[in-house]
Structure 1
Amino acid sequence: MTVLTDDLVLVDQHCHGVVAGDLDRARFAGLLTESSIPTNFDSMVGLALRRWCAPALGLPAHCSVDDYLERRAEWGWRRVSSRLLGAAGVRSWLLDTGLPVAADLPITEPVEFADIADGAAFEVLRLESVAERVAAADVPVADFLDFVENEIRDGIQAGAVGLKSVVAYRTGLDLPAEPPTDVEVAAAASAWLRWGGKRMDDPILLAWLVHLGARLSAELHVPLQLHTGFGDDDLRLHRADPALLGDFLRATKSTGATIALLHTWPFHRNAGYLAHLFPHVLVDVGLAIPYVGDRAGSVLAELLELAPFGSVCFSSDGFGLPELHHLGATLWRRALGRLIDDWLADDVLTVADAEAFAVNFAAGNCCRAYGLTVPV
């Protein structure tokens, strides 16, 4: 790997907390896959786990899965998490705190996560979770929309640095260019609340919520993150293609909003094209990096075919297992290093260019978008 990326300090644009408890083999395997069926470790991410996480826990590279899990049980979740997160080279983490989890699967909140990782952690508000929390408070129908907006504003005031929507999971990314009318939204909210206001999956309410997020992004200067690309089996992949966002992005390009397209694989080339068209778009390849393992360099190179270099950020989308945070950082840094080495060898750019681009990919672009201090 090139010396340009060996010591890069990263800022993770999007991730989640880790499980605050020890895991048996089945639970660990279940968190190492996006499938509802636990992994058997015979995959690129399984190989990456044994190659890159094992040495961080004092084990030989490529040790057996049994030896790895035995060390994990011996050390306990907190020591393992501290070692893996601390060795990731990430200075700041932006945590989506809205992902629902099982009652017996406690997830660290930003304060505890920051303490374990020995870094800084910032909250990103999930819009659907805010709306569902407001609905659960049994607010009057006439006040629901205002309560949701106020709750989001309060969260930003309290220190959240971004907003996020998982509309890709609910109805897909084919969002209208304009928000629904007040009459349409009021009728949809009334019906949804009348039916219990549980999981928000009404297309009118979701369109209203994402447009609200874009409006508040512009007003409060916080990016709006959108899940795109692959995810768990609750997702219909063809509805998560960021190319479906064309009308929405065209409508928001001059508003002052910042839209961050997360994950993007296998549509990362489409995402790069959108960033090429729309200067208010940020892109990353998130959780794809640990899952594709040694193929991470190809994915990153394909994103950079069209994406302006000022639009590209790093994220891990680590959730539950600190191994995913660690692999996201380690493999991304390694992929970028290999890519820069090739570019330098082919005289594509200068060393000065390479250094500037690497720092911006790693942290600078993200920090400027989210109003954070660029780490040194």
Structure 2
Amino acid sequence: MAAPGAVHEVLAALPLVDHHCHGAVTADLDAGRFESLITEGAAWPGVSPFDSPVGVAVRRHCAPLLDLPRHAPPADYLARRSALGWQEVHRRFLTASGAEVFCVDTGYAPHPLTTPAELAAAAGAAAREVVRLEQLAEAVAARGVEAGEYAAVLRTAAEEAVRRPDVVAVKSVAAYRTGFALAPERPADAEVTRAARHWLARGGRLTDPVLVRHLLWTAVDLGLPLQLHTGFGDADVTLHRADPALLTDWLHRTAGTIPVLLLHCWPYHRQAAYLATVFEQVYLDVGLALHYTGPARCRAVLEEALEITPFRKLLYSSDAYGVAEFHHLGALCFRQGLADLLQDRVDADELSLADALRIAAWTGRDNARRVYGPLVSEPARDPSGRPARKV
């Protein structure tokens, strides 16, 4: 039997690769703005996000980092946060996350956010960029393009974007725009031109199914790992259309091309686990669900995700956005939940300690290094060029 807590000790000290997250808001937040950022819904009258699993987790596990007692009342928490100022709040929580590399989706910014470099500097870590394809397509449309030239111009813009020195992946939010019940084959050039003509005349967000399919196939051509939002999100997603199992036919057609990383996944993490089991190119995480379920239930989510998933296929992600608390809370939930379940299996002699420690390292860091390659695996440096925490 393993020594008590051996897995916990190793996971607590493991530098993580947060393979999908966002920046934190670069401003002090009043009560209303803070509450709006700790929910995927809204701060409705009489219903505070502090009175939810994630709100309770913030008060229990984040308050001590602000020099407050555990379970501090919301008013005290917000007052202390404001007194410290957002820069110090960011430093404390980002450092506490223990991440050595952040892979940052820069394509969603309704608020002023830290850049990847600013996030890295606050954490004493490194950061890499994830390019969001829908934002790229909408920027091409906004600059003005003829329908017949749309595909070529988009391809050029995408190739230029992924050549930026710190870009490690691309991402699509097709789950939000159309859902995954898309025709799986690559659209013909004439289809793309016809769809582009209608979209460019209409304007607005990219929601045309043909053009969303075209984005997914453009990602295949670019050759970088593709991150796909699946499952849980805000009210803009129609949840049953975000089931990753709907991608099955497309995954058959793209076998042998690029890694496909299914993000978040809850409540479809079991479907995602199936896909990761039967398709070589598929990986998953349960980011976002970790801090929204909190330490009280994150183990259950991880346990379900690992029921059949090959251990080299699960990655760590916080999907933190807006408040730096979520970078810390996501990491804390991951470390604690995974350590609890692995240690129990070791204690029950269902897993050797050596195997448990390998799984912990693979999931928290090494699987991401394997998927994303040298930009994540090489020694991290902060923006001044000094070595950050050892990778």
User: Which TM-score applies when normalising by structure 1?
Assistant: 0.95
Asked whether the equivalents of residues 105 and 132 of structure 2 are also in contact (C-alpha less than 8 Å), the reply is: yes
Name the counterpart of 1:60: 69
Deviates more, 1:36-45 or 1:174-183: 36-45
Asked whether the equivalents of residues 39 and 49 of structure 2 are also in contact (C-alpha less than 8 Å), the reply is: no
Residue 45 (str. 1) matches residue 46 (str. 2): no
Name the counterpart of 1:268: 269
Name the counterpart of 1:204: 210
Tell me which amino acid in the other structure corresponds to 1:52: H
Tell me how far 1:272 sits from its aligned partner. Answer: 0.4
- Inter-partner Cα distance in structure 1 for 2:174 and 2:281: 19
Asked whether the equivalents of residues 181 and 246 of structure 2 are also in contact (C-alpha less than 8 Å), the reply is: yes
Asked whether the equivalents of residues 134 and 206 of structure 2 are also in contact (C-alpha less than 8 Å), the reply is: yes
Name the counterpart of 1:324: 326
Residue 98 (str. 1) matches residue 99 (str. 2): no
Identity, in percent, stands at 46
- Inter-partner Cα distance in structure 1 for 2:52 and 2:96: 23
Q: Which of 352, 355, 377 is the equivalent residue of 1:373?
A: 377
Tell me how far 1:205 sits from its aligned partner. Answer: 0.5
Tell me how far 1:61 sits from its aligned partner. Answer: 1.3
Q: Which of 347, 350, 361 is the equivalent residue of 2:349?
A: 347
Q: What whole-Å deviation, never above 9, does each CA across 1:309-342 have from its counterpart, x for those lacking one?
A: 1110000000000011111001110001101111
User: Which TM-score applies when normalising by structure 2?
Assistant: 0.91
Asked whether the equivalents of residues 276 and 306 of structure 1 are also in contact (C-alpha less than 8 Å), the reply is: yes
Q: What whole-Å deviation, never above 9, does each CA across 1:115-174 have from its counterpart, x for those lacking one?
A: 122211111000000000111111333322112111111111112110000000011012
- Inter-partner Cα distance in structure 2 for 1:122 and 1:151: 19
Q: Where in structure 2 are the equivalents of 1:132-143 lying within 5 Å?
A: 132-143=138-149
SS in 2 for 1:230: coil
Q: What whole-Å deviation, never above 9, does each CA across 1:324-365 have from its counterpart, x for those lacking one?
A: 111100111000110111111111111111111111100100
Tell me which amino acid in the other structure corresponds to 1:247: D
Q: Where in structure 2 are the equivalents of 1:71-220 lying within 5 Å?
A: 71-101=80-110, 105-159=111-165, 160-196=167-203, 198-217=204-223
- Inter-partner Cα distance in structure 2 for 1:59 and 1:125: 38
The structure-2 alpha-carbon separation of the partners of 1:36 and 1:179, relative to structure 1 and needing over 3 Å to count, comes to: farther
Tell me how far 1:12 sits from its aligned partner. Answer: 0.5
Asked whether the equivalents of residues 18 and 316 of structure 2 are also in contact (C-alpha less than 8 Å), the reply is: yes
SS in 2 for 1:309: coil
Asked whether the equivalents of residues 259 and 283 of structure 2 are also in contact (C-alpha less than 8 Å), the reply is: yes
Q: Which of 280, 286, 301 is the equivalent residue of 2:303?
A: 301
Asked whether the equivalents of residues 175 and 207 of structure 1 are also in contact (C-alpha less than 8 Å), the reply is: yes
Asked whether the equivalents of residues 32 and 43 of structure 2 are also in contact (C-alpha less than 8 Å), the reply is: no
Residue 29 (str. 1) matches residue 35 (str. 2): yes
- Inter-partner Cα distance in structure 1 for 2:208 and 2:357: 46
Tell me which amino acid in the other structure corresponds to 1:10: L
SS in 1 for 2:377: coil
Name the counterpart of 1:333: 335
Tell me how far 1:181 sits from its aligned partner. Answer: 0.9
- Inter-partner Cα distance in structure 2 for 1:40 and 1:122: 31
Gaps (5+ residues) in structure 2?
379-389
- Inter-partner Cα distance in structure 2 for 1:298 and 1:324: 19
- Inter-partner Cα distance in structure 1 for 2:42 and 2:56: 20
- Inter-partner Cα distance in structure 1 for 2:339 and 2:87: 30
Aligned residues: 367
- Inter-partner Cα distance in structure 2 for 1:14 and 1:320: 14
Asked whether the equivalents of residues 229 and 263 of structure 1 are also in contact (C-alpha less than 8 Å), the reply is: yes
Gaps (5+ residues) in structure 1?
none
- Inter-partner Cα distance in structure 2 for 1:128 and 1:323: 28
Tell me how far 1:188 sits from its aligned partner. Answer: 0.5
- Inter-partner Cα distance in structure 1 for 2:190 and 2:247: 24
Tell me how far 1:67 sits from its aligned partner. Answer: 1.2
Deviates more, 1:55-64 or 1:261-270: 55-64
Tell me how far 1:176 sits from its aligned partner. Answer: 2.3
SS in 2 for 1:193: helix
- Inter-partner Cα distance in structure 1 for 2:254 and 2:146: 31
- Inter-partner Cα distance in structure 1 for 2:127 and 2:66: 23
SS in 2 for 1:185: helix
- Inter-partner Cα distance in structure 2 for 1:239 and 1:40: 26
Q: Where in structure 2 are the equivalents of 1:248-287 lying within 5 Å?
A: 248-254=250-256, 256-287=257-288
- Inter-partner Cα distance in structure 1 for 2:171 and 2:182: 15
Tell me how far 1:74 sits from its aligned partner. Answer: 0.2
